[in-house]
Structure 1
Amino acid sequence: MLRIILADDEAMIRAGVRAILASDPDIEVVAEAADGREAVELVRKHRPDMALLDIRMPKVDGLTAAAEIRRLAPDVGVIILTTFGEDEYIARALGDGASGFLLKSGDPRELIAGIHAVAAGAAFLSPQVAQRVISELSRGSGGGRMGRAAQARERVEQLTDREREVLGHVGSGLSNAEIARRLHVVEGTVKAYVSAILSRLSVKNRVQAAIVAYEAGLVDDSA
């Protein structure tokens, strides 16, 4: 059973998320908070498996709470709930210990999948969030970006043609299921490709892999 702390300052949002989580018999919401400070205290009290935090909350916001939770209980996974209007916070949160980023308006199945992925030790971003993170982190110009691009191209040269194709789709923010449909293969095959890509590129998760894809020019960001 995965024990969850849920924190959001809007009662209706908490009720909706709780209803989604109740559909999975392996997930239990053990406590709820209306602000980040309360969320940290609940983590201290209950020692859950995971904290699901709204990015914007009064007193202490989700990012500050995430960093504090990681210091207090590094074994507790943290997932941030966000909206499309908060891109500037997402990049910051990558360094604050959060393991997942999900859109409040996203598919409820992504929430369930994200919780299980983080519980298994992986990072999880909804495809839409992943693409916006990549765009935000890849902004800039000049020699620094050119140098990163050259390094990224060298790194992807070690991949097979098929792996580069899959990496490009990862960089575009597609899920494994969407990539499988594009390539006319089963989802398990895509998972195997992604695992091999992460290993070959020496990156920790698909977000970092997607950034490499973007900087290597495998992603068409003109669309």
Structure 2
Amino acid sequence: MDTSQKTIRVLLADDHPIMRDGLRSSIDFEPDMSVVGEASDGQEALDRYRELLPDVALIDLQMPNADGLQAIQAIRALYPDACLVVLTTYPGDARVRRALESGAIAYLLKTADRQDMLAAIRAAAAGRRVLAKEAADDLHAHEGYELLTPRELSVLRLVAEGNGNRDIAQKLCISEDTVKARMKTILDKLDAEDRTHAVTIALRRGFMD
């Protein structure tokens, strides 16, 4: 082995201790990688990144006290060159787009083969973008589709909670006609048959968690 080879210092951010243990075992086994720290939520991920300045931060999206996306945005704001890799259970083109736009260089799924994950960490550390096949397929399948706006998402989230048009209008301080108009746009954008179908599609594509 080339002893002059630089060790890739990795920070793990995931709220499941068993997941972190498994990742640490896999990464520390590699001669060119080392886990230098762990975090169990988004705020701790930011704090630990500041403290350790790792070469790569492996970040889950679903975490308490600031989720992974918020952690990525906060880290990127302070460290524009940070190498941030999403490792999550969830694909979905909208979720992938948000992560990449927020500053992630790679988007991996927890179903990935161990060697594929390690190769992706090395690639990300070298500045190369890596997308899980399913994530890349989702992006390609919805290329050119319009994204839902924050106002449309506010309506759809209330629909998902079981609210009718009148209740949604009251909660958002808008008219029922506005709710109906936004709902029509949502159905068109998602190519959905009805409200329930729209919620299902939005969850699958990652517009809502």
The TM-score range, normalised by the shorter chain, is 0.5 to 0.7
Q: Judge conservation of contact 2:15–2:39 (CA < 8 Å) in 1.
A: yes
* 1:1-223 correspondence to structure 2 within 5 Å: 1-84=7-90, 87-140=93-146
What are the superposed Cα offsets for residues 135-176 of structure 1, whole Å, 9 maximum, x if unpaired? 244435xxxxxxxxxxxxxxxxxxxxxxxxxxxxxxxxxxxx
Q: Judge conservation of contact 1:102–1:110 (CA < 8 Å) in 2.
A: no
- Corresponding residue for 1:217? none
Q: Judge conservation of contact 2:91–2:135 (CA < 8 Å) in 1.
A: no
Distance 2:70 2:43 in 1: 9
2:85 is aligned with what amino acid?
Answer: I
Distance 2:78 2:26 in 1: 28
Query: Percent sequence identity over matched residues?
Result: 40
Distance 1:114 1:8 in 2: 18
Distance 2:144 2:25 in 1: 37
**1:47 Cα shift?**
0.8
**1:121 Cα shift?**
1.0
* Secondary structure of residue in 1 paired with 2:30: coil
Distance 1:65 1:136 in 2: 26
Distance 1:41 1:136 in 2: 35
Number of equivalent positions = 141
Distance 2:80 2:101 in 1: 14
* Secondary structure of residue in 1 paired with 2:34: strand
Distance 1:62 1:136 in 2: 23
**1:111 Cα shift?**
1.1
Distance 2:41 2:92 in 1: 18
**1:15 Cα shift?**
0.9
CA RMSD after TM alignment: 1.8
Distance 1:87 1:11 in 2: 28
What are the superposed Cα offsets for residues 83-138 of structure 1, whole Å, 9 maximum, x if unpaired? 24555321211210000010101111121111111111111112222112222444
What are the superposed Cα offsets for residues 183-216 of structure 1, whole Å, 9 maximum, x if unpaired? xxxxxxxxxxxxxxxxxxxxxxxxxxxxxxxxxx
TM-score, length-scaled by structure 2: 0.63
TM-score, length-scaled by structure 1: 0.59
| Distance verdict in 2 for CA 1:2–1:103, change over 3 Å | same
2:99 is aligned with what amino acid?
Answer: A
Q: Judge conservation of contact 1:7–1:36 (CA < 8 Å) in 2.
A: yes
Q: Judge conservation of contact 1:91–1:136 (CA < 8 Å) in 2.
A: no
Q: Structure 2, unaligned stretches of length 5 or more?
A: 1-6, 147-209
**1:48 Cα shift?**
0.8
